[in-house]
């Protein structure tokens, strides 16, 4: 679902709105101004760096699961 972050042009308040349609009224919760700048939501950013740490290290000595599941004696 599209959540957008806005910065009020009048008072600088940052707020987020769940936008269901283009007719959704956007107004600052602080000063009720409709003047705003749309920021990129953090939820919309691709998380490409998350997989970088899973490089298959040989440091683990307990087999597939470290012995926690009992499949390894
Ligand atoms: Zn405002």
Tens-digit pLDDT profile for residues 13-45: 999 988 888 788 899 999 999 999 998 755 555
Tell me the CA–centroid distance for residue 46 and ligand 1, in Å. Answer: 29
Q: Positive or negative, the Cα torsion across 8, 14, 17, 19?
A: positive
Tell me the CA–centroid distance for residue 45 and ligand 1, in Å. Answer: 25
Place of tokens 């490089």: 55
- Give the C-alpha separation, 67 to 61, whole Å: 9
pTM more than 0.75:
no
Tell me the CA–centroid distance for residue 66 and ligand 1, in Å. Answer: 54
Tell me the CA–centroid distance for residue 17 and ligand 1, in Å. Answer: 14
The predicted pLDDT at position 18 comes to 86
Tell me the CA–centroid distance for residue 23 and ligand 1, in Å. Answer: 20
∠ CA 37-46-43, nearest 5°, is 50
């Amino acid at each position: 679902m599209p959540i957008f972050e806005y910065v009020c042009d009048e008072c600088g308040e940052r707020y987020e709105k769940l936008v269901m349609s283009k007719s959704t009224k956007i107004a600052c919760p602080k000063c009720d101004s409709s003047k705003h700048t749309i920021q990129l939501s953090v939820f919309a950013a691709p998380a490409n760096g998350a997989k970088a740490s899973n490089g298959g290290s040989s440091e683990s000595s307990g087999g597939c699961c470290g012995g926690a599941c009992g499949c390894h004696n």
